[in-house]
Structure 1
Amino acid sequence: MQFLFIVKATGYSEAGVNYSQKHTDAMIAYKESLASAGVLISAEALHPSSSGIRIMYPSDSEKPEILVGPFLADQELIAEYTLIDVNSEAEALDWALRMPIPIGRGEFKIEVRKLKKNLGFLRESGTWVLEADLKDQLSMLKNF
């Protein structure tokens, strides 16, 4: 089962304030432990919303509204995520509870969400990449 740990943005993360070296080292060790256990799929931090773009579709229109950040931190923005593959929700929660938190930076929120299984119309992203690469190679061969 795949679970996504969604670390919510704070005023600090939105301002681009770096964590302490102690916290950074703890996060590196945490992610290394996830990798060593063979459960880590991906873990990335996001830039602040000031560099983001939001596409909104009003309920009465198919025409999108394009908004440029920054967005308000109280809108439950995401600062980073970690994607893991484990055997149970309890195991996912155990890993989430091990994530280091930055002390002295106010409230810190981690949301744990289970990913839906492949619904049949979706393919693994790696399959898309391989297919595109094969098409490129076939195209090159046809041009010889």
Structure 2
Amino acid sequence: MTAAPPPPSATGATRAAGSPADPADATTGQLITQLTEQVSRLVRDEARLAQAEVAQKAKRLGIGAGLFGGAGLFAFLGLAVLVATAVLALDLVLPAWLAALVVAVVLLAIAGVLALIGKKDVEKASPPVPTQAIAGVQADIAAVKQGLSR
């Protein structure tokens, strides 16, 4: 036969088995316990939301970068054929070496301009941040502040 557990002490502090249904009936200790649990859960949930949002953006970024890379490869091949065509067309008017030199100088000038434009765009870029999660945290903070001011 197993012995029944002893009854809770009437004089000692015991932890409540559950939260009261009405917060107005709760003690200050119970309310503080609930508050810390809820804040802890809120922080964990917001962190999970931020992690999921960043993962989703990273996945989209990876797919987009892969497709963009494939498009760049085919554009490069097409440009190479056009460069060869330009050299062959100039070869009709100039010696072959001079035609190739003219086309190379034009291509290098275009590359320089594109590099400068790209550098400016990279400097303006901001790091990817979980904007929705940040907005959620700011809304939560505002709600807590409003609740505390009552």
TM-score by shorter chain over 0.5: no
Q: TM-score, normalised by structure 1?
A: 0.20
Which structure's relative contact order is higher, taking Cα pairs within 8 Å and 6+ residues apart? 1
Q: TM-score, normalised by structure 2?
A: 0.19
When Rg is computed on C-alpha atoms for both structures, the one with the higher figure is 2
